[in-house]
Amino acid sequence: MSSDLQFIDLFAGAGGLSEGLTEAGFHSLFANEIVPAYARTYAYNHVGSKVVTTDIRALDANKVRDMLGLERGALDLIAGGPPCQGFSINAPVRSASDQRNHLFKEYLRFVEAFAPKAVLIENVPGLVSFECGATLQDILQSLADLGYGSDVRILGAAHYGVPQMRWRTIIIGIRGTELPPSAFPTPIYHAPIKPNFTTTFNGKPLVTVPTSATSAKFTTVYEAIGDLPALSCGEKGNRVKEYACAPFCDFQRSMRLGSAGVFNHEAPRLAKINIERMRFIKPGGNWTDIPFDMLPKGMQNARRSDHTKRYGRVTKDGLASTILTKCDPHWGAYIHYEQDRSFTVREAARIQSFPDHFVFGGTTAEQFAQVGNAVPPLLAKAVGLSIQTILDKAK
């Protein structure tokens, strides 16, 4: 397979999608990200890539292509996660002041200017059902109008080695041809995940599950973070820490490649009442383990079947909940399986499958947001390898 494929990343965030594509053999030439802290993290971890921190609407796509020294049609891939919610021509309320109505069109503007061999778009699973599918239909039609055969799938990250219950909508387009059935990666791990969203589009199934021939088991939380040093709640320690032990599984060995130690591993400081609440929560448990008089007032009247992830403590041998932009126990199951504290940025990054050499900058809140907003690199790598196979066959 080729290892010199080139891509640009739009709406790049901290670079989870780019990290996975890089692991698949692609090389990042350019990235655009509007949030300065995210862009600085991207630049730090993608040396050699030109990172522009600005609103994409201020960029001239043809000037960017000229700056990169590329002829139209030469670029291998444009990747990105443009907001698509306001794109549908059938949206009930359309306003020039709604920025969402324009951002996907900005992505298309770059596709038209570069005419890459392939395009990759990622989004939330809800994109499929948004506006009864009209938005997704508009996206596929827009790509077709630009000469791309495209299709969509919803991929479960745990099926590709990511130790959490996360799903992403993936759109792949190839210039000048129909998309082959093999364009999307085949699941390689069994995992206890079930979709809770629309799983068909135009009568076709969007979710592929592992076959009986798939023997590999999902990556557990313990395998994901069990080699990281223990911390007490609120403990910071050294900026770079030593690992607690030698790697004891393939996931840890892969995460530690090229790493100089454990970065971004500081335990968030929690309120005293939350520390007290955590001591009652068993692995796999949640807020219902907390004594009634210690519950937040707003949850004392909640049904025990509601908010099942709040104040959740993960189990060692299970999957983590979807990592969000905060690992706040009040938001979800982000309590360590045996330590009375919430996840660190590094633990959240491991659960997202970021390698340890990937260092996050900015405030702690910004770091958590960068991790939570990212595409899991292992999922992106699987998609990148599939695209690479298609492009190699087209040569």
Residues with a known catalytic role: 84
**Helix locations, the chain, DSSP H:** 16-23, 36-45, 61-67, 100-114, 134-145, 221-225, 250-255, 272-278, 345-352, 364-373, 377-394
Length of the chain (residues): 395
For residues 150 and 201, the answer to whether their CB atoms sit within 8 Å is no
CA distances from 266 to 23, 147, 154, 378, 390 (A): 27, 48, 33, 24, 42
What does the block give as tokens for 392? 């190699």
Bridge-partner residues for 15, per DSSP? none
Number of H helices, E strands in the chain: 11, 9
Backbone CA torsion sign across 166, 171, 174, 178:
positive
What does the block give as tokens for 186? 């085949």
For residues 100 and 57, the answer to whether their CB atoms sit within 8 Å is no
Query: Which residue in the block uniquely carries the two structure tokens 């996975």?
Result: 20
What does the block give as tokens for 295? 């519950």
φ, ψ for residue 140, nearest 5 deg? -65, -40
For residues 50 and 70, the answer to whether their CB atoms sit within 8 Å is no
Least Cα distance to 389 among 99, 118, 138 occurs for 118
Query: What is the gyration radius of the CA atoms in the chain, in angstroms?
Result: 21
For residues 388 and 2, the answer to whether their CB atoms sit within 8 Å is yes
How do beta strands 118-123 and 77-80 pair?
A: parallel
d(CA 164, CA 224): 10
How do beta strands 167-175 and 118-123 pair?
A: antiparallel
d(CA 242, CA 245): 9
Least Cα distance to 10 among 39, 48, 44 occurs for 39
